Structure 1
Amino acid sequence: MKRAAQLVTMAALVAAAGCTGASTEGVSGSASCSGLVTYDSRGYLPTEKSVLTVGERLGTATVAGCDDTPNDSDPGIPESTTGAYAIEGADPTEAIAVGDSPAEAVPMAAR
């Protein structure tokens, strides 16, 4: 549950950056909080697709760490792993769902 909440938080950060037009390229603090998940050597980012049917478990995805405030004492969120699931009707090279269980999985789109 904790990792799924972290992913949702990261998705919100991505949405906020998109609204301000801020670029995360080349900025280590912002880039670390992009919500990047890696599965099968491909990067995925949060997507706003809200209606989906989670399919079978594909394996394990790696959630990038996040330290968007490197100059404070908070260590941020360390790199972690979570489940990678198929999304019915989607090619896993284009989209997956990630979370600790199918019920908690959130959609991610290949970047």
Structure 2
Amino acid sequence: MIWNGRSAGLLVAAAMVMSGAACTAGGGGGDEGLSCAGRYTYQDRTYQDVGSVTFTPGKKLGVATQPPCDDTGGKDTSEVPVTTGTAYEVDGIPPEVAIAVGDTPKTATLFAVGSDPDLPPEVQELIDGS
């Protein structure tokens, strides 16, 4: 095979797609079916991003931590920088069920314990109403 600029470019593009796909559903990290980037922990509970949902954020709760993503094939996760975000209450839903995480209440995203299809009923109602 003759390597030229186009072949090398295609190889780089394929590698980028594969590395991005490694952190999606079933891509590793120990929790099969959960996205590495779509999880936060707060007070020893793991919350999963539930997507674009209309909700009303409440008061600031504290710091939520995004667990390291072990999608590197055995790389030491202690070397991976920890990501944090501010956790906020979600009006009408206890923090044991769902929180919002973001830099501000207006930019926060909804996270809930469980994942499709096992979302808590309170969260499913928000999704159905969005």
TM-score in terms of structure 1 length: 0.62
**Residue in 1 that maps onto 2:67:** 64
Deviations 1:26-49 (A, max 9, x none): 489x86715221101111111135
Change in Cα spacing, 1:65 to 1:46, as seen in structure 2 (3 Å) is same
Greater Cα radius of gyration, structure 1 or 2: 2
Q: Which has the higher contact order (CA 8 A, sep 6+)?
A: 1
Aligned pairs, number:
89
Percent identity between the aligned chains? 39
1:64 Cα offset (Å)? 1.5
Question: C-alpha distance in 1, partners of 2:96/2:36?
Answer: 22
Question: 39, 43, 53: which one pairs with 1:50?
Answer: 53
Change in Cα spacing, 1:31 to 1:109, as seen in structure 2 (3 Å) is closer
RMSD: 3.3
- Please, which runs of 5 or more residues in structure 2 have no aligned partner? 1-22, 75-79, 115-130
**Residue in 2 that maps onto 1:9:** none
1:100 and 2:103 are equivalent in the alignment: yes
Kept in 2, the 8 Å contact 1:55–1:88? The answer is: yes
- Please, which runs of 5 or more residues in structure 1 have no aligned partner? 1-12, 72-76
Change in Cα spacing, 1:55 to 1:67, as seen in structure 2 (3 Å) is same
TM-score in terms of structure 2 length: 0.54
